[in-house]
Every structure is written in C-alpha cells, then in structure tokens.
C-alpha cells in the first residue's frame, strides 16, 4: 500500500501544491482479526501487529512525501488518531510535533447561528416538511451540528419534535461515539482510571487540569477547546464538555480491562 501511494504521488504535477485527504483516518488503527476459540460466537481482536505497522506507514507518508504534496487528515474518532500519533515511534522525529492543526471553532455566536438557520430554512422550502421553529435554539451552538439536525429531521419522519430529535442525536449518536473512542484511547494510554480522573477535572469548571498532566493525545485533541486560567486548563466547548461529562460518569463502561498496546 505504501509503495502504491508513493508511486501515485510521483505522478502528480510538480509545479503546484497537491492536497491529498485521508478521511476516517482512525480506521488505520482499528483493524481487527478473528479470534480462534471454541465458542459458537464469532469474535475478533485488535490486530496489534498491523496497528504498529500502520503507525509507521502514516508517519512515513506524512513526513517523507515530496514537496508538491500536502496531506489533510480528518476522521470521526480523532481521539483514537491522536493517541496513536502520540505513540508512534520517534526514530528522529516525533510525528505529533510535525504537523499544522486546523482548529474549528467549538461554538459560534447566536447571530451567526441565526444566519445559518435562515439559509437552512430557505433550503428546506423545497422539501415537503418544514423545520421546527425551536430547533435553532435547542441545537448546540455549532453550524455543522445544526445542519446535521436539519438533515436528520428531513430524513427521519418518525421524530415529531425538535426536543426529541436533539435527545435522540445525543443519546443515540454523539455519546456512544465518544464512549467508543474513549475506550480505545484509555486502553492505549494505560492507567485508564487515572486518565478518567484527569478528564473529570478537565470538565469541572471549579477544578481544571495542569497542562503538564494532560497526555499528549488529549492535549492535541482538546487544545483548541481549552481555556487557560490561573495555570490550569478548562474545557471551553459546551457540546464536547456535555458529552464528555456523560462519558466519564460511566466509568465501568469505558474503563478497558485489556492491556496497553505496545508503542514500538
């Protein structure tokens, strides 16, 4: 795979900057293989050897690509990505320090959200179902989240109110996705209960966390969402803090019992 991608990059025009996107990049680190046991149920386990190999492949792609290629990395489980980037073997250069991060605003002002809302309502006039008036203020203060809720309202005709839609999205999508992401990251970082204590303090507006105590994986993921006050970090993303608060309150559900994956 690595050789094929490198051959492809050599074929790209060299008189301009070519942007290549890897979406859902966490899939690199979630490859599984079947477990051989005597039970009737099919089970699988994380393919650790492939995971370690993919860390090295991603590092070589990102750091040794030709000058006419720039990579963009996105995904839906970015905590998993940053945990593996932090654990990638250094061998001269630490991958986690060799990138530019594009931080999206964690929240927008209400007047900005209202502009997006008017555009979304205008688009909805071509559909056979009107958007509920209270969806804009029930939505988390993010344009992308509001747009997602509008699409879900049009798609799922069994939902009758905006409150039901927001609740279903939080309980059926956002919270389970964060919990699944946290399980993998806590396994990777080791000492999951100690890491959970840090997350509890991070979302506590009266506590906060000393920056030096936050693991690199969490630091990279949460840096744009955090506010520094009196030498401590506090999470400044209402939606993420809400989801994370639910997640860290479910300690038995997200503390993995499996051993830490080796970093080399």
Highest-confidence range of 88-102, 109-123, 217-231, by mean pLDDT?
Answer: 109-123
Sequence ranges of the domains in the chain: 2-75, 110-160, 170-254
pLDDT of 99 higher than 80: no
Return phi, psi of residue 230, to 5°: 55, 40
pTM for the whole structure: 0.64
Average pLDDT over residues 196-204: 76
Specify the pLDDT at position 261.
Answer: 40
pLDDT in tens, 239-249: 667 776 666 66
Strand-strand pairing, 226-229 and 232-235: antiparallel
Specify the pLDDT at position 161.
Answer: 94
Specify the pLDDT at position 3.
Answer: 86
pLDDT in tens, 53-94: 888 888 888 888 999 999 888 887 777 887 788 778 888 777
H helices, E strands: number in the chain: 12, 6
Specify the pLDDT at position 39.
Answer: 55
Return phi, psi of residue 78, to 5°: -70, -25
Per-chain mean pLDDT for the chain: 79
Specify the pLDDT at position 83.
Answer: 78
Share of the chain above pLDDT 90, in %: 22
Lowest mean pLDDT among 26-40, 88-102, 133-147: 26-40
Lowest mean pLDDT among 124-128, 156-160, 217-221: 217-221
Closest CA to 6 of 68, 91, 50: 68
| Axis-axis angle for helices 48-63, 2-10 (nearest 10) | 20
Q: 186 vs 114, which has greater pLDDT?
A: 114
On whether the CB atoms of residues 216 and 145 are closer than 8 A, the answer is no
Specify the pLDDT at position 227.
Answer: 79
Confidence of residue 263 (pLDDT cuts 50, 70, 90): very low
Q: 88-101 burial by CB neighbour count: b if 16+ within 10 A, else e?
A: beeeeeebbeeeee
For residues 191 and 170, give the distance between their C-alpha atoms in angstroms, rounded to a whole number: 28
Specify the pLDDT at position 154.
Answer: 92
Q: 48 vs 220, which has greater pLDDT?
A: 48
For residues 107 and 145, give the distance between their C-alpha atoms in angstroms, rounded to a whole number: 10
Highest-confidence range of 47-56, 179-188, 232-241, by mean pLDDT?
Answer: 47-56
Confidence of residue 106 (pLDDT cuts 50, 70, 90): low
């Amino acid at each position: 795979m690595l050789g094929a991608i490198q051959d492809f990059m050599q074929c790209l025009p060299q008189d301009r900057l070519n942007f290549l996107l890897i979406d859902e990049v966490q899939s690199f680190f979630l490859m599984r293989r079947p477990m051989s046991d005597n039970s009737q149920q099919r089970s699988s386990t994380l393919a650790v050897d492939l995971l370690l190999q993919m860390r090295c492949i991603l590092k070589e792609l990102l750091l040794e690509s030709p000058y006419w290629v720039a990579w963009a990395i996105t995904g839906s489980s970015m905590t998993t990505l940053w945990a593996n980037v932090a654990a990638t073997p250094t061998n001269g250069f630490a991958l986690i320090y060799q990138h530019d991060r594009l931080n999206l605003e964690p929240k927008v002002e209400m007047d900005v959200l209202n502009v997006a809302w008017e555009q979304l309502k205008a688009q909805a006039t071509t559909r056979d179902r009107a958007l509920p008036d209270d969806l804009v203020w029930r939505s988390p203060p993010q344009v992308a989240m509001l747009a997602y809720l509008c699409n879900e309202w049009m798609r799922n005709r069994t939902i009758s109110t905006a409150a039901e839609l927001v609740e279903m999205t939080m309980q059926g999508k956002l919270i389970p996705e964060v919990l699944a992401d946290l399980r993998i990251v806590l396994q990777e970082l080791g000492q999951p209960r100690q890491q959970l204590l840090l997350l509890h303090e991070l979302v506590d507006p009266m506590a906060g966390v000393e920056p030096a105590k936050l693991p690199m994986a969490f630091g990279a993921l949460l840096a744009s969402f955090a506010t520094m006050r009196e030498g401590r970090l506090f999470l400044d993303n209402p939606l993420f803090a809400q989801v994370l608060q639910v997640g860290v309150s479910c300690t038995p559900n997200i503390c993995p019992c499996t051993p830490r994956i080796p970093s080399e």
